């Protein structure tokens, strides 16, 4: 997908598919070989969040009941684990035993 440098609209392949054309303003630009490379979900590496030293990372704390040890304080962070059109998931890490759970794991 290519966006117009002039107006920001989505561009389409022009005749012969050797250039991009903006339907909104008519701006044209040549296509490069890199433009044909597509990234699929399987090619994207997900980031692994190491929470073993959560206190040192400055994560915010909240009141949350740990299902493992019963402690009432936890660090929390948000992470996108589903597709982009769905909301993020909130994860908690117990301040005492470092047990990790999701907000919806009740």
What is the CATH classification number for the domain harbouring 59?
2.20.25.10
Residue 32 shares a structural domain with residue 48 = no
Identify the domain containing residue 34 by its residue range.
1-38
pLDDT tens-digit map of 5-54:
778 788 887 776 677 888 888 888 887 755 555 444 455 556 676 666 55
Q: In total, how many domains does the chain have?
A: 2
pLDDT tens-digit map of 52-82:
655 555 788 889 999 999 999 999 998 888 8
Residue 26 shares a structural domain with residue 51 = no
For residue 45, the model assigns a pLDDT of: 59
- Number of residues written out for the chain: 106
For residue 66, the model assigns a pLDDT of: 92
Beta bridge partners of 61: 75
For residue 39, the model assigns a pLDDT of: 46
Binding-site residues from annotation: 4, 7, 22, 25, 66, 69, 94, 97
Beta carbons within 10 angstroms of residue 75's beta carbon:
21
Cα(78)–Cα(22) distance, integer angstroms: 37
Residue 49 shares a structural domain with residue 90 = yes
C-beta separation of 29 from 8 below 8 A:
no
Residue 16 shares a structural domain with residue 53 = no
Binding-site residues from annotation for Zn(2+): 4, 7, 22, 25, 66, 69, 94, 97
């Amino acid at each position: 997908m290519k966006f117009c440098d002039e107006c920001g609209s989505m561009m389409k392949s022009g005749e012969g598919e050797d250039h991009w054309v903006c339907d909104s303003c008519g701006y044209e630009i040549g296509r490069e070989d890199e433009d044909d490379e597509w990234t699929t979900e399987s090619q994207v590496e997900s980031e692994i969040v190491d929470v073993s030293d959560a206190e040192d990372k400055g994560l915010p704390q909240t009141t949350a009941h740990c299902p493992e040890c019963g402690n009432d304080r936890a660090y929390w962070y948000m992470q996108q684990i589903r597709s982009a059109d769905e909301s993020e998931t909130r994860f908690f890490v117990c301040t005492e035993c470092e047990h990790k759970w999701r907000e919806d794991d009740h």
